[in-house]
Structure 1
Amino acid sequence: MPTLLRLRAAALTATAVLLSTVLAGCGGDDAEDEDLTRQELEWKECGAPDEAQGGGAAPSPLPDDGEWQCATMKAPLDWDEPKGDTIGLELIRVRTTGSASERIGSLLFNFGGPGGSGVKTLPAFAEDYGTLRTRYDLVSFDPRGVGRSKPVICENDQQLDAYFQQDATPDDAAERTVLLDNTKEFNDACENNSEQMLPNVRTTDAARDLDLMRQVLGDEKLHYFGFSYGTELGGVYAHLFPRKVGRAVFDAVVDPTQNAEQGSLGQAEGFQLALDNFAEDCVSKTEECPVGDSAQDVKDRIARLLRDLDRKPIPGVFPRELTQTAATNGIVQALYSQDFWEYLTEGLQQAYEGDGSTLMLLSDSMNGRSENGEYDNSAAAHTAISCADSKPRYDAAYVERILPEFRAASPLFGDYLAWGMIGCTDWAVPGAADHPDVSAPGAPPILVIGNTGDPATPYEGARAMVNALGEGVGVELTYRGQGHGAYDSKNKCVQDAVHGYLLDGKVPQARTVCG
């Protein structure tokens, strides 16, 4: 269930699709005295994504016939024992369209999560990065524990169907007991199926993988574009390897100073703001808003729908029913991007008439469920990485004490996000810290972009990241817009700033405002 909802492009790609092989990994290989920095990658044509990555067809060539290539990089299973067992990390790339003299190097992308497959996501968005490709090879990867990179596996598809349908906002002791029992069963399954990986999926481990990737790709510096959770990964990399940072952009920025509770509370406020903006947008259109007569009426009707679903679900995607939790998940997913507000309007209209199919498809997208009923491993990986990173453990009594604060932040999403905090209770391995360390003295300028209407990583996180990186490192840019992230809004001001920086090294003036 929800902890920190940072999954960005992978979920949005699945939404667009829904609405319009054997799990790989080399765990157990012995590195012996092999220098992993000297390994040569065997690039080959990419196959179709496997179930853990989300399935689907092999990536198609880009319009200019740019071919996708995939390779597996060896990395230590345990970075504290770099000469021990190794795992395989899956990479994908498309070569630059520029000449050898114009090429800067590789630009590595992380699209967020934690738990999103970069191998699946980069091809879906690559045309949006065509300008960047004029001087960079575009490269992404499945982080350790994700997709084809020794994935964390918890429950099977049938179990996950039930898990995501359960009542995630208990109203009494009996419902609370069921939620706690189901969470423990999920966490126990993670330990039973992936015990070897659980201690080795921290963001610090992924950051060390990034530096190995940089060396294996032949780059003196790491050039990086991180979205959502990818900004946290980038910040941790900058802390560990400040003098290896090249040109880096952080977009949809995670607040690195917050613990899990503060992050969840911030998201309650963020998604409530996004819902407010959706409601205002609907009623401000010249034609009648089909889901409410006023902004408050829109929100009141949604709240009433969720209360009704708590008592009696409606038909969703056969044979499943749309529960209160699934509907909330679907609404949250649609609020990630203004492009999906029309789907939210359609889904609400249908639900008011007894048809929960569109909201359920949105929920399925959030949870990584394909049309054929198979789940990717994003939920398992998200939980494993979040719990390995985050030290606090919250029990039911604590959640009940803080519920009033969460409800004040969001009448609609407060309970949902507060109860999501129990996801790491009784987790098999301890969490590393209250929050990540991203201080990076000695690093070059990093462009940090905050979106004033971002629901999942609220705008204030960008300023917090700038301050935490340290004086002279973070350069803040503000986008006055809606949705999770700024670059993919195609706002010219934002994209000009990013292109000028990544392609020509021109650092924007601090606190530039776009929108």
Structure 2
Amino acid sequence: MQEGDAARGLPDALAKQRPDWKPCEGEDGWTCASVKVPLDYDAPDGETISIALIRRPAQGKGRRLGSLLFNFGGPGASGVGLLPRASVEYEKLNSRYDLVSFDPRGVSESSGVVCRNDAGMEDAATRVDLTPDTAAEEAAYFEDAKDFGQGCEQRAGKLLAHVGTANAARDMDLVRHVLGDRKLNYFGISYGTQLGGTYAHLFPGNVGRTVLDAVVDPTADAFGHARNQTTGFQRALDNYLESRGEDATEGTARIAALLARIDRKSLPADDDRELNQSLALTGIVLSLYSESMWPDLTEGLEEAERRGRGSKLLALADAYNDRTESGTYGTQSHSQRAISCVDTKQRPTPAQAKALLPEFRKISPVFGPFLAWDTAGWCAQWPVPGERDTTDASAKGAGPILVVGTTGDPATPYEGARRMADALGKGVGVLLTNKGEGHGGYSPSNTCVAKIVDDYLLDGKVPADGGTCG
């Protein structure tokens, strides 16, 4: 159902509010604020929650174009935390746009969902096998998943049912309204593309200049997303191995054998910790997100294979899991599961996950088992119902939306970009293919993609559909 304006029908206390911008603690040049939004848009006069915002005003002397709102993905990534650190990538855009980001509902400073304490997170990371091989390991895996969901329900309460992407899109439109922008100019990355597609569907008349980079396939259900990622990560691993002059099939078999050995006996690591199979796999996954991290993968694999130690892969896994050296954990993994499980109606069973194993192992002996089990590990016993099967991104009447797909993207494989462009509709979705590696194409170092995106966002130059960089 398309909606005209999220502020319509809201009480004046919400519709007429204006952010009270104040200097952000520890972030020179940035200001922070919050806006109130309804917990439940079907009950606009009811309970509210706060959405945290961060902004750096346009820095150039040219005509200001308004706000450019960023979402960096996850779901569950904190835009308030990430934008100041990523802003060097967007200095040219900051010349004419206010750079703005936010913590979506259920994330970090916006009533962030936290499902268990640090000790519980550490226990699960060291004890639970994400690719169970025995009945006992399966039981522990699904008991942990149930416990995680129950922790979310106990701590988040009524918020848990309202953290889905559609409500986050409504929040974005209310943010647009209170910022005083007639149209929403938006840059979405990874899950941010799903959020952007949802926004375009709900508010096509409010779509401004919009870029979707590293695109989630809107046509995929829970099984489809897992299949896509199995394909994408194996493709990235093949590209990594071939860049080293190694046969991809042989190299994959070597890494799968290493993981099997670690499954039988964990490797010692720094600070008297151990690298188990699940953490080793997590470290490999992180290192495939960017070609610049391939040397880290090489170092980690060589340390494990030649020296029998797991310190490097464990450090990579810690970075992925947002674990500090002192053993504390960030909240993204909590928010990510909460949002994902509200978004999908599907509740795959352990039997359905197990049935996927032969197919997924054939696609990838390294990543297939983990992603097959993961279909049921996340949402099978989730305490609140899901909202939909797939993402409706049809946006008839919206202006052109630039969709950037990278051919070697591991987490959001390239095929999803074409499907998103098609789903947005003829004359709306404009596909740009980036022939390269990594999760996302826009970067000042990628001069082809950067020029096309910058020309579009700054000057309104819409490229031809089907263009290619690289």
The two structures have a TM-score, normalised by structure 1, of 0.87
Distance 2:153 2:63 in 1: 48
In the other structure, the counterpart of 2:21 is: 43
Q: Could you say what secondary structure the match of 2:170 adopts?
A: helix
Q: Percent identity?
A: 52
Distance 1:390 1:190 in 2: 17
Distance 1:225 1:92 in 2: 15
Asked if the contact 1:279/1:296 (under 8 Å) is kept, the reply is no
Deviations 1:66-120 (A, max 9, x none): x011111111111111111111111111111123x61000000000000100111
Letter in 2 for 1:194: A
Which residues of 2 match residues 90-101 of structure 1 at below 5 A? 90-99=52-61
Match of 1:261 among 219, 223, 232: 223
Offset at residue 489 of structure 1 (A): 6.8
In the other structure, the counterpart of 1:324 is: 277
In the other structure, the counterpart of 1:286 is: none
Deviations 1:32-80 (A, max 9, x none): 9443121121111212xxxxxxxxxx33x4xxxxx01111111111111
In the other structure, the counterpart of 2:83 is: 122
Distance 1:399 1:369 in 2: 28
Q: Could you say what secondary structure the match of 1:351 adopts?
A: helix
Q: Could you say what secondary structure the match of 2:37 adopts?
A: strand
Deviations 1:416-435 (A, max 9, x none): 00111111011111110111
Match of 2:46 among 63, 84, 107: 84
In the other structure, the counterpart of 1:357 is: 311
Asked if the contact 2:50/2:110 (under 8 Å) is kept, the reply is yes
Which residues of 2 match residues 126-145 of structure 1 at below 5 A? 126-145=87-106
Q: Could you say what secondary structure the match of 1:318 adopts?
A: helix
Which residues of 2 match residues 52-451 of structure 1 at below 5 A? 58-59=26-27, 61=28, 67-99=29-61, 102-165=63-126, 166-283=128-245, 294-352=247-305, 353-422=307-376, 423-451=378-406
Distance 1:378 1:323 in 2: 22
Distance 2:166 2:293 in 1: 34
Distance 2:273 2:336 in 1: 24
Task: State the aligned residue count.
Answer: 459
Offset at residue 351 of structure 1 (A): 1.5
- The answer to which of 327-336 and 193-202 deviates more is 193-202
Q: Could you say what secondary structure the match of 1:113 adopts?
A: coil
Deviations 1:4-35 (A, max 9, x none): xxxxxxxxxxxxxxxxxxxxxxxxxxx99443
Q: Could you say what secondary structure the match of 2:244 adopts?
A: helix
Distance 2:199 2:447 in 1: 29
Q: Could you say what secondary structure the match of 1:224 adopts?
A: strand
Over 2 Å off, 4+ runs: 31-35, 293-301, 316-320
Distance 2:81 2:309 in 1: 31
Letter in 1 for 2:15: T
Distance 1:426 1:467 in 2: 34
In the other structure, the counterpart of 2:3 is: none
Offset at residue 323 of structure 1 (A): 0.4
Letter in 1 for 2:381: D
Letter in 1 for 2:295: E
Q: Could you say what secondary structure the match of 2:443 adopts?
A: helix
Uncovered stretches (5+) of structure 1, i.e. residues with no partner: 1-30, 48-57, 62-66, 284-292
- The answer to which of 293-302 and 234-243 deviates more is 293-302
Letter in 1 for 2:448: C
Offset at residue 294 of structure 1 (A): 4.7
Asked if the contact 1:44/1:70 (under 8 Å) is kept, the reply is yes
Offset at residue 187 of structure 1 (A): 1.1
The two structures have a TM-score, normalised by structure 2, of 0.95
Letter in 1 for 2:215: V
Offset at residue 451 of structure 1 (A): 0.4
Distance 2:157 2:421 in 1: 36
Offset at residue 301 of structure 1 (A): 2.6
Deviations 1:470-496 (A, max 9, x none): 111000000000000100373111111
Asked if the contact 2:67/2:99 (under 8 Å) is kept, the reply is yes
In the other structure, the counterpart of 1:478 is: 433
Q: Could you say what secondary structure the match of 1:197 adopts?
A: helix
In the other structure, the counterpart of 1:13 is: none
- The answer to which of 299-308 and 372-381 deviates more is 299-308
Distance 1:138 1:221 in 2: 15
Match of 1:456 among 403, 406, 411: 411
Distance 1:338 1:415 in 2: 24
Offset at residue 295 of structure 1 (A): 4.2
Q: Could you say what secondary structure the match of 1:112 adopts?
A: coil
Offset at residue 370 of structure 1 (A): 1.8
Asked if the contact 1:153/1:193 (under 8 Å) is kept, the reply is yes
Deviations 1:368-402 (A, max 9, x none): 21222111110110000000001111111111111
Asked if the contact 2:23/2:32 (under 8 Å) is kept, the reply is yes
